[in-house]
Chains A and B, each alone.
Chain A
Amino acid sequence: SAVISQKPSRDICQRGTSLTIQCQVDSQVTMMFWYRQQPGQSLTLIATANQGSEATYESGFVIDKFPISRPNLTFSTLTVSNMSPEDSSIYLCSVWGDSYEQYFGPGTRLTVT
């Protein structure tokens, strides 16, 4: 299994500012993902964080809004830029393990006012 930590666990931010969320895994993993869960909705994949190269974004998500870094196989950051109230969500980091299981971090609850 993989143990994933995220920082911060929650934050309240003002419109127009940016927040960087950190994700740390206790072991090296190849595949790392960032998801968003808006209130009352399912998990939506934002992007796959690729080590040493640009992230792969899903339809509807762009690098300027959600820049992602993946400097090594245990760490990634997601920045939510120029925030608006519509960005209020839970942001989740996830990894795909060798035993065909997907593990999630505890999530970062973001509220934009």
Chain B
Amino acid sequence: DQQVKQNSPSLSVQEGRISILNCDYTNSMFDYFLWYKKYPAEGPTFLISISSIKDKNEDGRFTVFLNKSAKHLSLHIVPSQPGDSAVYFCAASGYNFNKFYFGSGTKLNVKP
């Protein structure tokens, strides 16, 4: 039973436009959410996180939105750059951070 889902396996966006990556979860006990970027042949790199007490967190071009009632989070990248082309994973954890559940990833392609 997959508790964190990324229903879009891929997304293609023009350079300079907004990229929106979505993630849904089923466990209402999740307390902390993270987004990672992964290039081929590398480990995932932490991008941005959000705690359940917030509904938005912003870091430069990256903003994560959390809708707890819908059990949905999204990552916005504005403006998108070709270097953003990678696989993006969302992950969720309970308050004690002793286990993280990952989505299946969305492959983002930013076209020049």
Contact = CB atoms under 8 A, between A and B. Distances in A.
A44 B89 CA distance: 12
Contact of B42 (A94, A100, A102, A107): A107
A42 B89 contact: yes
B43 A107 contact: yes
Given A42-B89, A42-B105, A43-B89, A101 B100 contact: no
Given A31-B97, A96-B97, A100-B49, A42 B42 contact: no
B30 interface: no
B44 interface: yes
Contacts of B103: 42
A43 B44 contact: yes
Interface residues of A, number: 22
Given A31-B97, A31-B98, A45-B99, A92 B43 contact: yes
A67 interface: no
A43 B97 contact: no
B103 to A, nearest CB: 6
Contact of A100 (B32, B36, B98): B32
Contact of A41 (B32, B42, B45, B104): B104
Interface of A: 4, 31, 33, 41-45, 48, 58, 92, 94, 96, 100-107, 109
Interface of B: 2, 32, 34, 36, 41-46, 49, 89, 91, 97-100, 102-105
29 contacts: A31-B97, A31-B98, A33-B100, A41-B104, A42-B2, A42-B89, A42-B102, A42-B103, A42-B104, A43-B102, A44-B102, A45-B100, A48-B99, A92-B43, A92-B44, A94-B43, A100-B49, A101-B46, A101-B49, A102-B34, A102-B46, A103-B46, A104-B36, A104-B44, A104-B45, A106-B41, A106-B43, A107-B43, A109-B41
